[in-house]
A and B are shown apart, each in its own frame.
Chain A
């Protein structure tokens, strides 16, 4: 079983829809990251959180430590949001190099 599971694997939405991507993990963590990988391949960090909720523009990330679950929400989705969204966790107590990645959710937003 993967230590970080994302759902759905693929998601197609119409422009303007509210989107939710889920991430569940099975290890104790010190932080969780949401990353965005553009169609061209570049990876950017969207959020890093260890509790509660963070918001940046139309993006909202939440985490529930007790349930070992995080969600990434996109409000008023736009075709430019089309990308692969990756969840990664930093294993609490693990080596400093230990980021564990999910396989990603591929989002396609149609105009």
Chain B
């Protein structure tokens, strides 16, 4: 299994540009999520999905869109990039996360995004 994969690893954008960060997992996990990591702060949840066709907002969703058309893929879209979105982005997945479940989270390698 490849686990959780993310592309690209690095990206530089200009303010106002759009792009999609790709995330895929081959473990048949129902639960997937996107986090951003900024210096001096803990990981913060952007959006998450509990299964194909179901997404919800996390702590910092503004400026980001997601969709989940398949179990495997969970892309994160920046419609109009802003310098405040400069960060490292991590995708993660785990098995079906029924309330109180205790499943391990598997993280992708991260995407380092710079918005000029």
Q: Identify the A interface with B (CB < 8 A).
A: 2, 4, 30-31, 33, 35, 41-45, 48-50, 86, 88, 90, 92-93, 95-104
Contact = CB atoms under 8 A, between A and B. Distances in A.
Contacts of A92: 100
11 contacts: A2-B42, A41-B112, A42-B109, A43-B90, A43-B110, A48-B104, A95-B56, A96-B98, A97-B58, A99-B43, A99-B105
A48 B44 CA distance: 19
Interface string B23-49: 000000001010000001111110110
Contacts of A100: 42
Interface of B: 31, 33, 40-45, 47-48, 50, 56, 58, 88, 90, 92, 97-107, 109-110, 112
B50 to A, nearest CB: 5
Interface secondary structure of A, over-half rule: strand
Contacts, number: 70
Contacts of B88: 41
B110 A42 contact: yes
A41 B56 contact: no
A3 B104 CA distance: 21
Nearest to A38: B109
Contacts of A102: 42
Given A88-B42, A90-B102, 16 more contacts: A2-B42, A31-B100, A31-B101, A35-B107, A41-B88, A44-B107, A45-B106, A48-B102, A48-B103, A48-B104, A50-B102, A86-B42, A97-B33, A97-B56, A97-B58, A99-B33
